[in-house]
Amino acid sequence: MSKISKLAFIEDGAVIEKNVEIGPFCFISSQATIGEGTTIAANTCIYGKTTIGKDNRIFSHAVIGSIPQDLKFNGEDVELIIGDNNTIREFTLFNPGTKGGGSKTIVGNHNLFMGYVHLGHDVIIGNHCILANAATLAGHVELGDYVVIGGMTPIHQFIHIGDYAMIGGASALAQDVPPFCMAEGNRAVLRGLNLTGLRRKMEREDINVLKSAYRDLFESGQPLKETASRLLEETSNHYVNDLCDFVLKTKRGIPFERKNLDDK
Which position among 70, 84, 122, 216 bears the catalytic label? 122
Residue 1: the pLDDT is 79
Which position among 61, 121, 128, 140 bears the catalytic label? 121
Q: Using one digit for the tens of pLDDT, what is the confidence trace for 225-250?
A: 999 999 999 999 999 999 999 999 99
Which position among 23, 37, 126, 139 bears the catalytic label? 139
Percentage of the chain beyond pLDDT 70 is: 98
Above 80 in pLDDT, residue 262?
Answer: no
Collect contacts of 42-48 with beta carbons under 8 A, ≥24 apart.
Answer: 42/5, 48/78, 48/79, 48/80, 48/96
Q: Using one digit for the tens of pLDDT, what is the confidence trace for 112-146?
A: 999 999 999 999 999 999 999 999 999 999 999 99
**221 is an active site residue:** no
Above 50 in pLDDT, residue 191?
Answer: yes
**139 is an active site residue:** yes
Q: CA–CA separation, 248 vs 203, rounded Å?
A: 25
**145 is an active site residue:** no
**What domains sit in the chain, N to C, each tagged with a CATH number?**
3-143 (2.160.10.10), 198-263 (1.20.1180.10)
Residue 264: the pLDDT is 47
